[in-house]
Structure 1
Amino acid sequence: MWYLCVFYHRLLDYRKPEVESLAELFGAFHDQKEGRHLEWKQPEDHHPDSPFHFVNLPSEQVARDIASRSILVKGIYELWGEGPTFEELEAAIQAYPEEKKLPFLAPDSTFKITVDSFGKVISFQEQTGRIKSLAFIPFKGRVDLKNADHKFWLMETDDYGVNNGLPPVVKRRHFFGREISGADRKLLPTYQLKSRKYLGPTAMDAEMAFLMANQAMAKPGKLVYDPFVGTGSILVAAAHFGAITMGADIDIRVVRDGRGPDCNIWSNFKQYGLPAPVGLLRADNNLPPWRAGLKEMFDAIICDPPYGVRAGGRKSGGRKLLKGAVRPYTVSDHQRNDHIPSTASYCLVECVHDLFDVAAKMLVMGGRLVFFYPVAREDKYMHNISNSYPEHPCFELIATSEQILSSRYSRVLLTMVKTSPYTAEVEAAARLKHLDFRENHLKWLEDGNLHSAVFSPADAVVASDTESKISRELKPKYRGKEGRIGAVNDQSCISLVKVGNCSSLSGLEVPIVKAIQREEFPAGEKYIQEILILTLCRHTTAPASAA
């Protein structure tokens, strides 16, 4: 049956994947051959980013379960009528089958009508007028504004062209329907980070943590694991939905000490009255602690891997192991209690590889791997980055949801399902890759450095083919208060002129211009090109066209 699904207007990429994950959780897909995607439709003249969508669900109970648990669904409604004008809306409601309307208009029931809008604010007087205009519906029960048996909604979109940031193609439209279920408005205020006892710089936002838990289909009896647990924000959300939780982190201070006996991960679970994790391990995902032969233990793995922007990843090893030592160093017995193992930098590529290897081995068949993967915004829109997400032979990618963090980079929530067993061939390939990471540590550390892409100078000159013509060593080293870049050397001047594609300078040998070696130039390729050309013209004989 088709229902009207109304979303909150935020995190637009996350809306449909969350609903589809919850639909699978509540048994909407009886036959997996049908796939894991619902059938969706848009109202007439509506934009894909509109909060109004039609969704085909197998039953009213499934719709009620989805709406009551979803974070981004405002409500799911049985649509009685819609139209671009109120007259057409009235005609549609009257044409709706009487046998479907009469059970909710009985004299022994109570009802409530709410007026809502998107793109404008409706005054109380206007709301009252709209409710009175629904007098043609034969309500026989009495009104109850607090605990009504049946709740009806009159919703409309505006056509003023603003529409909360949507394009003006969203035309005015009226909807009227019976509420199947609405969102739990108390959930997020209860778990908001500002009221939580133990927090860290990378603590996951409560809304995003619950979305991740929904994507992983956390529910009672399921064992959920976070290998980068941090302050436990993701596990708190999974525990709220009844899942059994377990976490690990390489930092012993996080999993053992926190900020004292009353301010740690355990106190967060105690604060909300949730079951504590069955275990918190001091463990390294690069050297997993699981005994040989242990497989298919977790129902879901949810995590936010460290990708080196706010916090860099660390792995066991230190300088000795990374310099080619074959055997790990040993710690004498009298030093074990106070010894803190040395660690080394952990690049993103290796981190994701190890995450896949652990998940492929430890997840049950059909288990879900949900994690964030960072994407540079330049790559996102200049290339088909959707084909560049990490892959693994044991997993199928079923959903991607982007969250823009800055003009430089965003993160994409990848939802994967384990569809193939962890075979000896997969294990052997993972072992070879792990050896490559170990032997070429510095190379992979440089190639997987997202921090440089995010915090490089804002006005770095990029050629038309999107590849920088300034080598890594020659890029400006700082950015001043007024967006000015410095530390430009001779070779970078030559590169900058080449970027301009100035035919007037083609064929000229650009000399070494030591006079401008330490000057600062206004930000922007155009200004740099003009200044350099004028400067170079004073040191070389240019043809008349160049002048």
Structure 2
Amino acid sequence: MPAFLVVFAQSHSEFRIPELESVAKLHGFAISFPSDCDPSRPFMIITLELEEHAHLLARRCILIKQIYELYGQGNTYDELHMANKANSHLWSPYVQDTSFKFSINAYNHRIHESRQRSIMESFTYMKFAGKIDMKNPQIILGCFEEYDTALGLREDRDGNFHQVYFGRLVADGSARALIQMFDVKKRLYYGNTSMDSEVSLLMANQALASPSKLIYDPFCGTGSMAYPIAYFGAQVFGSDIDGRQMRGKDGQGQPPGVFRAAQQYGVVDRIMDLCTFDVTRNPWRCGNLFDAIVTDPPYGVRAGAKRLGRRKELSEEKKAANIEHQLAARTTQQPYIPPTKPYELSLLAADLVLLSRYLLKPQGRLVFFLPTVNEHYEEVDVQSMLCDGMELVANSLQDFGSWGRRLVTIQKTTSEAYLPPSFDGEMRETTGHVPAHKDFREQYFRGFKKDSDVQ
């Protein structure tokens, strides 16, 4: 199959391969990676059956800047030219009458104009007879030198690159423009827990959001997940234990908060509804409803997870007083706000997987963020959350130093019908393993120090 060179934006390197695989799966084509593929590098070689598949990736993948048909690569220009000559059948159709432009670039280095000219002149053996057009060429030929990031920007290393690539531009990554479109700072409604636009778009891709699909966010908040998912054509249902997060402040004749922002993006007709309820006491009476569940569960840095209930049971006397308070609230038409208690993150994550197994259609995906303490993280932390019929697809780290958050993608692999979870601890691990995300809020605010280190 033809080889293509992917030029990445320099962010979220661990998310690159999962996004490529998800978009390929969404469009139903195969994508292959070399055995020594390193997603942390700025360039990646992939193989695809058709050039059209490269266009599909460039139109949907958020992390792609450009895709080139690969003509050659090497540790030196001699190796590159040898490979390019061997692939002359790829570029020979453009030799006679195709206008073209050369683009010489380097990662983590600046190539002086004089050497750029000498690089271009080294390709004269290709004998391109078409017009050189710097503004509107029919094809763009790109050459990329990759320098080691550990050495920094140093003039004395000019030409001492790690690898050099050459090829024809196939597609620009048009999906990156969506990052600015969904920028939280430009949004009509957002809160202090609103998700970064680039990450929410990545999550939508992991969920395979597309027309005719129904996707659910059980911790909807200010709707950051809903907008890109709806933009990609899916129908969205959202819920939250705190309806105020979804509604926002009452405006003068304006729609509620999430719907107001959805109008801004032209997707309000794809927001099916927003409901206020505790996910552990949900109204769903049948499973196999949703094609995906995409969410960012609250983990306590800016807002902690809650569920209905009290920290301590009330005495009979206080129970009677509480009932009177509820009746009084009804007669005075004042809203009654039920009591809540903390929802520990490791329990929430395990419950979320069980709920997803019940609610997802076969092959449906659960996509969510899991914060974790980097020093203590182990693969078993995520594996231990899985249950029968649920399989891990991807687990990518967004590193913040001492802690990070993992974008976890889990797929329902069974068509067997399951009862709804009881949220009382069923099927949780009893091996004694303590995951790195347990009591994350407490660990975060004490600086991830051990109990013995805290004075």
Partner in structure 2 of residue 483 of structure 1: none
Name 1:254's counterpart in structure 2. 245
Measure the CA separation in 1 of the matches of 2:77 and 2:60. 32
**Structure 2 counterpart of 1:312:** 304
State the distance in 2 between where 1:271 and 1:164 align. 42
| Residue in structure 2 matched with residue 40 of structure 1 by the alignment | 34
Q: Distance in 2 between matches of 1:70 and 1:195?
A: 22
**Structure 2: any 5+ residue segments left out of the alignment?**
429-433
Out of 160, 169, 173, the position equivalent to 2:163 is 173
Aligned to 2:294: 302
1:509 alignment counterpart: none
State the SS of the aligned residue for 1:136: helix
What secondary structure is seen at the aligned counterpart in 2 of 1:431?
A: coil
Residues 1:397 and 2:392 aligned together: yes
Residue 81 and residue 164 in structure 1: after superposition, are their counterparts in 2 closer, same or farther (change >3 A)?
same
Letter in 2 for 1:344: K
Which secondary structure state, in structure 2, belongs to the residue aligned with residue 433 of structure 1?
Answer: coil
Question: Which TM-score applies when normalising by structure 2?
Answer: 0.85
Alignment of 1:491-502 (within 5 A): none
Q: Which residue of 2 aligns with 1:537?
A: none
Distance 1:144 1:193 in 2: 39
Separation in 1 of the partners of 2:74 and 2:93?
24
Q: What is aligned with 1:150?
A: 139
Q: Distance in 1 between matches of 2:311 and 2:293?
A: 31
* TM-fit CA distance, 1:122: 2.3
Q: Counterparts of 2:149 and 2:245 in 1: how far apart (Å)? A: 51
Asked whether the 8 Å contact 1:249–1:284 carries over to 2, the reply is: yes
Q: C-alpha separation between the residues in 2 aligned to 1:378 and 1:159?
A: 26
- Give distance in 2, aligned partners of 1:436 and 1:372: 21
What SS class does the counterpart of residue 298 from structure 2 fall into?
A: coil
Give 1:242's aligned amino acid: G
Residues 87-119 of structure 1 deviation map (CA, whole Å, 9 limit, x = unaligned):
332232222142x22333341x43332222112
Higher relative contact order (CA closer than 8 Å, sequence separation 6+) = 2
Tell me the distance in 1 between the aligned counterparts of 2:385 and 2:60: 30
Counterparts of 1:235-250 in structure 2, within 5 Å, are 235-250=226-241
Per-residue Cα deviation, 1:254-285 (whole angstroms, up to 9, x for no partner): 22234633672122122222244111111211
Letter in 2 for 1:140: A
Give the 3 Å change call, closer, same or farther, for CA 423–321 of structure 1 in structure 2.
Answer: farther
2:431 equivalent in structure 1: none
- Contact kept in structure 1, 2:293 and 2:366, CA below 8 Å: yes
Give the whole-Å Cα distance in 2 for the aligned partners of 1:243 and 1:283.
23
Structure ID, larger Rg: 1
Matches within 5 A, 1:459-474: 460=449, 469=452
5 Å matches for 1:82-121?
A: 82-98=73-89, 100-107=90-97, 109-121=98-110
Aligned equivalents of 2:382, 2:223: Cα separation in 1: 31
Tell me which residue corresponds to 2:130.
141
Distance verdict in 2 for CA 1:289–1:16, change over 3 Å: same
C-alpha deviation, 1:7, in angstroms = 2.0
Q: Which residue of 2 aligns with 1:64?
A: 55
For 2:281, what is the secondary structure of its paired residue? coil
SS at match of 2:358: helix
Q: Percent identity?
A: 33
Q: CA deviation at 1:358?
A: 2.4
> CA shift at 1:64, angstroms?
1.7
RMSD between aligned alpha carbons?
3.3
Partner residue in 2 for 1:15:
16
SS in 2 for 1:142: coil
Give the drift of 1:196: 1.6
How many angstroms does 1:27 deviate by? Answer: 0.8
Distance 2:416 2:250 in 1: 39
1 CA distance for matches of 2:275 and 2:145? 52
TM-score normalised per structure 1 = 0.71
Once residues 389 and 146 of structure 1 are traced to their aligned partners in structure 2, the CA distance between those partners, rounded to angstroms, is 55
Please say if 1:268 is aligned against 2:261: yes
Contact kept in structure 1, 2:259 and 2:268, CA below 8 Å: no
Choose from 173, 183, 191 the match for 1:200. Answer: 191
C-alpha distance in 1 between matches for 2:425 and 2:216: 22
- Please state how far the C-alpha of 1:356 moved relative to its aligned partner: 2.0
Equivalent residue, structure 1, for 2:376: 379
Q: 2:443 aligns with which of 432, 453, 457?
A: 453
SS of residue in 1 equivalent to 2:355 = helix
Per-residue deviation, 1:160? 8.1
1:321-359 per-residue CA deviation (whole Å, 9 max, x = no partner) reads 688999x97954536662222222221133223322321
* 1:47-87 deviation per Cα after TM superposition (whole angstroms, max 9, x unaligned): 65212222222322222211221111222221111222223
Instruction: Quickly say closer, same or farther: Cα 1:311–1:82, change in 2 above 3 A.
Output: same
Distance 1:178 1:275 in 2: 40
CA distance in 2, matches of 1:102, 1:229: 54
Is the Cα–Cα contact under 8 Å of residues 239 and 274 in structure 1 kept in the other structure? yes
The yes-or-no answer on 1:215 pairing with 2:206 is yes
The number of residue pairs the alignment matches comes to 434
Query: 1:248 Cα shift?
Result: 0.9
Mark the runs of 5 or more structure 1 residues left unpaired by the alignment: 30-36, 438-443, 463-467, 477-547
Mapped to 1, the partners of 2:153 and 2:197 lie a distance apart of: 24
AA at the equivalent of 1:402? L
- Do the aligned partners of 1:150 and 1:179 also contact (CA within 8 Å) in 2? yes
Q: Amino acid of the residue matched to residue 304 of structure 1?
A: D
**Which residue in the other structure is 1:419 paired with?**
413
CA distance 1:191–1:69, change in 2 (3 Å): same
1:227·1:248 contact (CA, 8 Å) conserved in 2? yes
Matched position secondary structure for 2:263: helix
